[in-house]
Homo-oligomer: A and B are copies of this chain.
Amino acid sequence: MQASLDAALNPASVAIIGASDNPHKVGGRPLLYLQRYGYRGAIYPINPARSSVQGLRAFARIADTPQVPDLAIIAIAGDEAVGAVEACAARGVKVAVVMTSGFAETGEAGARAQARMAAAARGGGMRLIGPNCQGLANFATGMVANFSTIFHELEGRDGPVAIVSQSGANSQAIYALLREKGMSARHVHATGNEADVTVADLAAAVVGDEGVRLVLVYMEAIKDPPTLAAAAARAHARALPILALKAGRTASGQRAASSHTGALATEDRVVDAFFERCGIWRAADPQELVRAAELYVGAHRPHGRRLAFVSNSGASCVMAADQAERQGIPLAPISASAKERLRRALPAFAALDNPIDVTGALLSDSGLLGAVLPIIGDDAQTDLLLIALPVAGAGYDVPRFARDLAQFQQTYPITSAAAAPQAAVRQAFADAGIATFAREGEAMDALAQLADHAALLRRAPPAPLVRIALRGKPRFLSEAESLALIAQAGLPVIEHRLCRDEGELERALEALGADIVLKACSPDLPHKSDHGLVAIGAADPRAEFRRQRERCLALGARFDGVIAARRARGGRELALGARLDPHFGPVLLVGDGGIYLEALKDYRLLLAPCTEDEVAAKLGELRIAPLLGALRGQPPRDVRALARMAVKLGEALIAWDGEVAAVDLNPVMVFDTGAIALDALVEKC
């Protein structure tokens, strides 16, 4: 357990090592900002060459300050920064923010210097932020220990958002986008090289700030998933939304994977699974990270995602219907009685369905929105409402429209927003406390995102991350051993016999009949069909046995026998897999089976343990999901049976506690009733 980061967010005093009189140098800007933004703690410029810096008394060394500073900013170059960290640690400083660059980001030598720095901090019980970082900023207290130019270009002010970013450039970009939306952030932290403190650590710290109502995170690697998961769990407890932009699609620390599930489950989709489990919404770029920010900090959290769209342009209504279809956003239904009320409120030729076109009549009848909105509200079939006014120049009573929407927003539990290309129109709505967007499509997506994220946050609190270390180097079991282990774990497997010799084959034929599959069994040949070692319905099973044995031996592989398995028919072949991920713990895979799995990559991942419902939901997201339902007279497939198998497999992987690295069950045949593994491949230590 490392020291808390309270002193990073709320230090009682701050020292700046390398303090500069030039407010636009790295060592000068924090001094400028601390004073400008009203930091009330003691500020100690450290500069051996001067008696005062930017009007404050300076000290020659960190050891000279009248009290031990809680936080020290280090802004001196190269190796001197390592010495400064050592001095801070010796002095009892709680947190050092090392802005100096030239460490791990420059190569081996820099990495070694960084390691020395980290060791010095650790030795002194001091937390280290950076090196190569832009620093911290807390606008609640004016503690802006940061050299970003953005707080000079945009006057900082307190707000309900926390930004935590590995990259300084991106913390700035995200902050600027937020300000463009008329919002602001309390916390803006950049962690740089993360020799000690990671984005996850600071996310955990800001989640503890009751004033924060939205957390935006940027990172290129999830260095500490359990800490981020714990932060997310704390945020979940107070319904605080976290959005993350995780860039870099090559999964970090990817183990050379020999099993299929291994290869597929180490890619970026594991990160998706991790975020989903944590209730964290994943954004694709900085714009997506901030697009719904106003909605998040607004009052309502929608309980559904049915959208009503109201516009004075028919074209907007047509495009909104297209966008709803493209993005899978359900348009709210309108009851017959509400339509009757709409008919009376609107011009005779207006469309009475959703999207609702109030037509150009809005120009002459400024009360039209105020008449229509309560009808939608009373109808109680809408969760989200968007008013789009692409045409609203001179002659339109926009302030009245804004008041009507604000009134609606206070009366009904419906999350509302307004879209207009004209800045002045948006401003009128913003002044009335309404979230605004320049683009209609973006507004619809943001509303739907809010609803989806709210649903994620209403789920049961996320279980802590289970991380299990492998107990050794994993090797493939033979198929017979694999099937046995799976059956032991309580999963249904196809009826089969391992026939080590022809005598055993005879007894298997007696027991199973002729409608069987014969498969050579060898731990050296995990992918049998690639070697022609699978025979379905062989006419002469005895000859096939001998052929497979000879082929096996010719390949130089061990020959454990031939598996005779009952032939399964009439189901759909899916794939089920599991593996221990070194970062995220047990990962489950469900997907389309057979060779399709790797060729078409139609699969989903989940972190175990998980529930049957969660697995069923993932199966519903597959592209082939329509094939699992009722189809041309064929009854639906028993996806619940597969979901139960997945839950059990996840539990087993945890219970095996590092003995088993990975399991492939491909195919699992899913019938109208029940499901059964036809093939198994286990990697065991």
Contacts and interface: CB of A to CB of B under 8 A. Distances in A.
Interface string A593-626: 0011001100000000000000000000001101
A316 B318 CA distance: 36
B393 A169 contact: no
Given A349-B110, A623-B623, A247 B318 contact: yes
Contacts of A220: 315, 318
Interface in A455-483: none
Interface in A30-61: none
Nearest to A396: B149
B600 A285 contact: no
Interface residues of A, number: 67
Contacts of A441: 284-285, 287
A532 to B, nearest CB: 9
Contact of A315 (B150, B169, B624): B169
Interface string A71-112: 000000000000000000000000000000100011100100
Contact of A626 (B247, B391, B599): B599
B360 A101 contact: yes
A149 B394 contact: yes
A63 to B, nearest CB: 32
Interface in A9-41: 24
A543 to B, nearest CB: 22
A149 B422 CA distance: 12
A167 interface: yes
12 contacts: A105-B314, A149-B395, A153-B393, A167-B313, A168-B391, A173-B390, A248-B322, A284-B441, A285-B319, A285-B440, A599-B626, A623-B623
A547 interface: no
Residue with the highest number of chain B CB atoms closer than 10 Å, among A220, A318, A393: A318
Given A167-B314, A390-B173, A631 B595 contact: yes
Copies in the complex: 2
Contacts of A176: 421-422
A530 B321 CA distance: 35
Contacts of A390: 169-170, 172-173
A599 B627 CA distance: 7
A633 interface: yes
A507 interface: no
Interface string A406-444: 000000000000000110000000000000000111000
A106 B314 contact: no
A247 B317 CA distance: 10
Nearest to A350: B106
Nearest to A389: B169
Interface string A169-188: 11011001100000000000
Nearest to A168: B391
A323 interface: yes
Given A249-B325, A600-B623, A627-B596, A285 B170 contact: no
A322 B323 CA distance: 24
Contact of A313 (B170, B349, B626): B170
Given A285-B323, A285-B440, 8 more contacts: A106-B349, A149-B393, A169-B312, A169-B313, A247-B322, A284-B326, A284-B441, A285-B441
Interface in A617-652: 623-624, 626-627, 631-633
Given A24-B395, A391-B172, A624-B600, A167 B325 contact: no
Given A150-B393, A247-B319, A326-B284, A348 B439 contact: no
Contact of A600 (B218, B395, B627): B627
A415 B391 CA distance: 35
A325 B247 CA distance: 12
A287 to B, nearest CB: 6
